[in-house]
Structure 1
Amino acid sequence: MPADENRDPEATPPSTPLVLVIMGVSGSGKSTVAGLLAGRLGWDLAEGDDMHPAANVAKMAAGHPLDDEDRWPWLDTIAAWIHQHEASGTPGIITCSALKKIYRDRLRGHDVVFVFLSGSQDQIATRLTARHGHYMPSSLLQSQIDTLEAPTADENALTIAVGGTPQHEVTEIVNRLDLKPIPPIN
């Protein structure tokens, strides 16, 4: 999975976001990066995997990839979370594979930035194999890579190369998007 060749990594970052969608294939580090980022910024955090209907979880746990029809209700639940945060002006971070442009179109909002965690198949496979306690088997990685459509220059997206520490990736996201923590309430 090469980084997005259509986007200059030194280009002006996307507009200041209210909601970040941390995206990428399973094993790219979405949950880890999102958790660290939310902790650093004091933003709301939601795990997109927790929003899957039970039938989707069972299908993936059995080693079967999801199809578009499986994903639409899940994406609608995630979109509702995103739009609720936009409407209330509450900053938030949510994880979602968002593998296809049509899925991102379903999630898109004025103040939404997609943060694509991109790495080589070998990097992701190593991370996925080391992960424990997740219903997504490493055998489905190839189906996710085959489905993945990296964000293009016309999308409000930022590509982050995985391979460093999650803390380094978080620092890169914060710096490139010029994100500020929510001030503490006194």
Structure 2
Amino acid sequence: MALNAENQLIVVMGVAGVGKTTVAHLLAERLGLPYAEADDFHPAANIAKMTAGIPLDDADREPWLRALAGWLHERGQAGTGGVVTCSALKHRYRDTLRAGCPDAYFLHLDGGRRLIADRLAARTGHFMPASLLDSQYAVLEPLQADERGTVLDVGPDPDGKIRTPHELVEMAAARLRPVNGDLA
């Protein structure tokens, strides 16, 4: 689904380690939109729970999702657009985000479990341990037909070449490109 990226509200979603932060930050830069990192919206109790290797439940996620929905709503009201990261693993989580911004566009970064597990194992300085990856895949609900968005495979291209974050951003921007125009 093509989309005019100007003043759009884009949620870069997917499991931990898929590259949400890197892609969202570069995409926001590329499109000239404000950026927010969902991890910054977690209450301290959520971070402590995940750091301890305990998956969050729906009650833990609800205030976090409402805060992100508020950020989306504020950007929508201001007309600035924006790009935010959020795992947004379940349809109902995305519904909570859409409550703040019904026109939110979801860019689902997807990759093979092994690739993502390898990335998580190599990641340092983040509170989310690799041991929680299985719990994320267990609850992941792909985008539904009634949701605005697209899936972007972060894995190697058909020739086996690893895609760089900049290549992924260009692929995402191409899906966001207006029909008759160019992006900023």
Q: When the two structures are superposed, what TM-score results if normalisation uses the length of structure 2?
A: 0.88
Given that 1:14 and 1:156 are in contact with CA atoms closer than 8 Å, whether structure 2 keeps it comes out as no
Unaligned runs of 5+ in 1: 1-11, 182-186
Secondary structure at the residue paired with 1:111?
coil
Structure 2 equivalent of residue 4 of structure 1: none
Root-mean-square deviation (CA, aligned residues, Å) is: 1.3
Structure 1 equivalent of residue 171 of structure 2: 172
Percent identity of paired positions between Structure 1 and Structure 2: 51
* Per-residue deviation, 1:177: 1.0
Q: Which amino acid aligns with 2:131?
A: S
* 1:46 corresponds to which of 24, 36, 46: 36
* 2:13 corresponds to which of 23, 28, 32: 23
- Count of aligned positions: 170
Given that 2:3 and 2:177 are in contact with CA atoms closer than 8 Å, whether structure 1 keeps it comes out as no
Are 1:56 and 2:55 matched, yes or no? no
Question: For each residue in 1:3-59, what CA deviation from the matched residue of structure 2 results, as whole angstroms up to 9, or x when unmatched?
Answer: xxxxxxxxx425656110000000000000011111212210000011000000000
* 1:158 corresponds to which of 150, 171, 179: 150
- Point out the more displaced range, 52-61 or 15-24: 15-24
Given that 2:103 and 2:148 are in contact with CA atoms closer than 8 Å, whether structure 1 keeps it comes out as no
Aligned-partner Cα distance in 1 for 2:87–2:36: 13
Are 1:115 and 2:107 matched, yes or no? yes
Unaligned runs of 5+ in 2: 156-162
Aligned-partner Cα distance in 1 for 2:129–2:66: 24
Question: For each residue in 1:46-105, what CA deviation from the matched residue of structure 2 results, as whole angstroms up to 9, or x when unmatched?
Answer: 000110000000000000000000000000000000011111101200000000000000
Given that 1:15 and 1:156 are in contact with CA atoms closer than 8 Å, whether structure 2 keeps it comes out as no
